Structure 1
Amino acid sequence: MVEILTPEQLDRARGAGRLVGEILATVRERARAGTNLLEIDRWAEEMIRGAGAESCYVDYAPSFGSGPFGHYLCTSVNDAVLHGLPHDETLVDGDLVSLDLALLLDGVAADAAVSFVVGGSARPQDERMIETTERALAAAVAAATVGARTGDVSHAIGTVLAEAGYAVNLEFGGHGIGTTMHQDPHVANDGRPGRGYRLRPGMLLALEPWVMEDTDRLVTDPDGWTLRSATGCRTAHSEHTVAITEAGPEILTSAHPV
């Protein structure tokens, strides 16, 4: 199902997006060497509940996971890139962390992800991966205009990733979002321009470029959720929820710490 939001729903989506951005920015600011992943998850829970919102992850049980997920935040570290299930694990200086958060506020969902390096020991390769996913995300947002097609958005992402020398995995990508977290259309991280679903005002898309340093193959942890690079290389992931409007694409999940 492709959902078209009403202007009133879009206003509520802006509130959900602001909250997602605030939580991710706040958690990122607080996370440091010595922080436990379960502690990060508790921070997210407190902020979600404190705002009167609901987690999209706690009871999430899709066909590809070993559900329900049971936590409030995906915490993927180093070679983990997607759906990182929080464990009793402590961050160390130099860890590359990806945090992915989706919540429902006033009946509308928003979804975003951010990658960063803990402390001051970032490898140049890590910084380059993160910067590449952020540039790919910016290109995707710019392409998400009324009348464009999902293939145009996918092509914008794939072009940036490929030009930077990264292989592109097409198993997981962006998606429609609205009164539920995952909806049609699927937005792959590479594609052919001019193909796919035509974008209309009132649509929300969660756009999420992600890369692995030297492979496009994933493996799944025994926890049934955490997806890692098949070679053990590091990874990065960036995501925003974007509204398609007549005035142009509008990012709803910009990061502002509380």
Structure 2
Amino acid sequence: MKNDQRLPRRRALLRLAAGLGAAAAVHVIAADPAGEQLPATASSSAGAAGPPAFRAQSTAYRLQPMTAGAPPRFRPAVPPVRTRPFEELPGIGHAMVLSFDDGPDPLYTPDILATLREHDVRAMFFVCGEMANDNQDLVRAIADDGHTIGNHSWTHPLVTGLSRAGVRDELGATSEVIERITGAPPLWYRAPYGAWNRNSFEIGAEMGMEPMAWTVDTLDWTEPGVGTIVRRVRDGAAPGVVVLAHDAGGDRSQSVTALRRYLPELLDDGYRITVPQHR
């Protein structure tokens, strides 16, 4: 976010998940840089929605309107649709997932990429569409380094306050710009503020994406200090954990410095840093 405009309740909202029906198994794999693939299983559920829509929007959080363009390409969802996001990845051995939200940002994302590259590990980047559109070279750099790019909406709205058409706009436009830049649509999405509802689960599934939440929240957006961020990651470290951090949305210098500290410590403790992929 170029002007660092944040909603007063930025990230203070509780993660929301609806219990909307029976669950079925969705299989993913966790791939490390060496190419090792380990099975992981999480519960899932599914459904369909109406035709795609594309409208210009803006919010108080991100003031730039959506860019005009063709409607996103929708793929049919295989029922049933998930009713809760992935919060961890059990069964992947002594491994963890690092994830970064809100970018890419030219001030902080390159330093995060450099640290990940130095240790030859892969992470997940949940990008906002407007940030991706404004920093296309960084999106390509993320993809070229082998990281997983996820959908974090276009303008970072509270999705639970949007209509179905609004959810389609936010997710569809972001998937479209990611695919245009990288040549591949995202397979994962994360709701801003961790606020999920039936519409986001169903429409995300229509676009071929699985919902990813997190296990450990570093709360780095509050700028609590490098030591506090490192401690939260180290205290929460465990097999299958998904760590939430940020590479944009404000001053992320603490997040950059903290990564330089906790990443080698995790590796020294024997953790593999991996990313999930669809089987």
Same fold (TM over 0.5): no
TM-score normalised by length of structure 2: 0.29
Structure showing the higher strand proportion among its residues: 1
